[in-house]
Amino acid sequence: MKIIYKLLLAAAPVLFVAACGGGEDNLDDRLDIADPKVRLVHAGTVSPAFTLYRNDVAQSNATNISYKGASQYFPVSTGTANWRVATAAGNAEVGTLQFDATRGDKFTLVAVPDVALTGAEVILISDPYDKELTANNARVRVLHASMNAGNVDVYLATTGTDINTVGPNFTAVGYKTANPASGSNSIDFTVGTGAYTLTITAAGSKLPVFVAPVTVTNNADWLLTILPQSATPNDLKVLVVKSDDGAATQEIANTL
């Protein structure tokens, strides 16, 4: 029913699409009829470059991705396949996952540091990309990939907001966990001025362990990946993985 409704709306002029912003934010995505899309994010702190393999075939769009790098989303055929993340030569495997690539959905495979900070593991995030045709809100999801921190609360609030007066946007996010969880939609943000402050605290605390200013733009699609700056507890940095034009990632340093 949702697809029929969106298709009826699409019969109207669609010139607004030119103003939708990011290169991956296309009309067919919003209609839930796009080919499935996949990307690889390298957040494995001490690991060499990785390549993504589909049924043991290296994907040219996600080859030799270095730490703190990411491929852009690229379209793949529908159906179930084995997806393997390994070193560029393919001889050292990080992990293999099998999933059904469904039309209209986007899939992110993230190599994250293991608990000992000596290697990496693979996490899969499925994003149904449920966004209205004419919406220009930003979409944000958090991934906790920092083995030196317990569960965290994450605030993305307009600049000047006292976090003591508001609740976290992402609550009690655990290590190797996404919020919202895989299979759920990202959280929508109405951009306004675009000036936001990203704050991370231990879950249930109002004492910041990470603070940084960020600029959120209309139609941004962000995966905020929390990473260790060092092995010291709660020494964090954030990698913004973007689904839009330009650089695929941006590192944000702690200003505390």
CA distances 124 to 23, 40, 137, Å, are 22, 10, 24
What is the tally of structural domains in the chain? Answer: 1
Give the residue numbers spanning the domain of 44: 2-252
Which residues, in sequence order, are bridge partners of residue 182?
none
pLDDT confidence of residue 207: 98
Q: Are the C-beta atoms of 49 and 12 separated by less than 8 Å? A: no
Residues with Cβ within 8 Å of 120's Cβ and at least 6 positions away in sequence, in order, are 43, 44, 45, 46, 47, 50, 94, 95, 111, 112, 113, 114
Question: Mean pLDDT score of the chain, rounded to an integer?
Answer: 86
Higher pLDDT, 133 or 51: 51
Backbone φ and ψ for 60, nearest 5 degrees, come out as -60, -25
Backbone φ and ψ for 213, nearest 5 degrees, come out as -75, 140
pLDDT confidence of residue 128: 85
How much of the chain exceeds pLDDT 90, in percent?
Answer: 66
pLDDT confidence of residue 119: 82
